[in-house]
Amino acid sequence: MVLRTIKQRRRLPLRSQYRLLSFDGDMTLWDFEASMRAALENTRTLLIERRPHMAAALVDITPMMALRDRILADEGASGLSFAEIRRRAFHALLAEHDRPDEALGNELYAAYLQHRLEATSLYADTAPFFGALDKSLRLALLSNGNTHPQHLGIANYFDVIAFADDAHRPKPAADMFSHALMRTGCSPADMIHVGDALDTDVAGANAVGATSVWLNRDRRANDTAIVPDYTITSLDELNALL
């Protein structure tokens, strides 16, 4: 069942008006968090093979996650891609818990990336949804992350694939939404955007005048002032809006 939000922002277009369906990637179509944790665990094991004395400081992946978050929050990191922030976190891990090592830092980052791509998997509802979708809709993937859908076998569904790392400002900025509209010749009223994040996906779609859909797989409370046009808990529910 589709949960219509109580606070509807504005009159919504007729469902048949949608011509462009756009998606976020991480935590919307695939489980980034699980693959990230698995890859950090793999990389922690590799690091301890190389530097056995670091095992005491790295009993789990918590210090690795904390370092990455600290670098992300650092003012000097604004404008850096998530990939670059992750790369810097491995170098900082060595510098702070042992000694700087450019070669090993790069090796850890490369191993992390490879593990993460190998460990990433689609949510159970993703492939069936795309397989059954009306072929007349134009499809876009607008991602602030760096997992390419070609690794997951769904790249061919998309007319437009845009990443924040590819010279676009990350959502909620209008850049990637505008890029998808321009590439497909659609207007904001034609566009419906689906994502798990209120602050980037829903706020960004609302700001450009597209219809926003909050994919709330975990049924979290919305403790923000950001109001999605629709809230769904699985991609199966999206069909009722199209």
Q: Which residues bind Mg ion (CB under 5 A)?
A: 24, 26-27, 196-197
Which of residues 51 and 222 has its CB atom nearest to Mg ion in the complex?
222
Which of residues 87 and 171 has its CB atom nearest to Mg ion in the complex?
171
Closest to 84 measured CA to CA, from 98, 96, 95, 74: 74
Torsion of CA 135, 141, 142, 147, to 10 degrees: 170
Which of residues 94 and 197 has its CB atom nearest to Mg ion in the complex?
197
Shortest reach from residue 214's CB to Mg ion, in Å: 11
Which of residues 54 and 173 has its CB atom nearest to Mg ion in the complex?
173
Burial of 60 (0-12, 13-18, 19+ CB in 10 A): exposed
Shortest reach from residue 14's CB to Mg ion, in Å: 28
Which of residues 194 and 227 has its CB atom nearest to Mg ion in the complex?
194
Shortest reach from residue 143's CB to Mg ion, in Å: 8
Which of residues 32 and 90 has its CB atom nearest to Mg ion in the complex?
32
Shortest reach from residue 173's CB to Mg ion, in Å: 15
Is the distance from CB of 130 to CB of 157 less than 8 angstroms?
yes
Shortest reach from residue 215's CB to Mg ion, in Å: 9
Shortest reach from residue 16's CB to Mg ion, in Å: 28
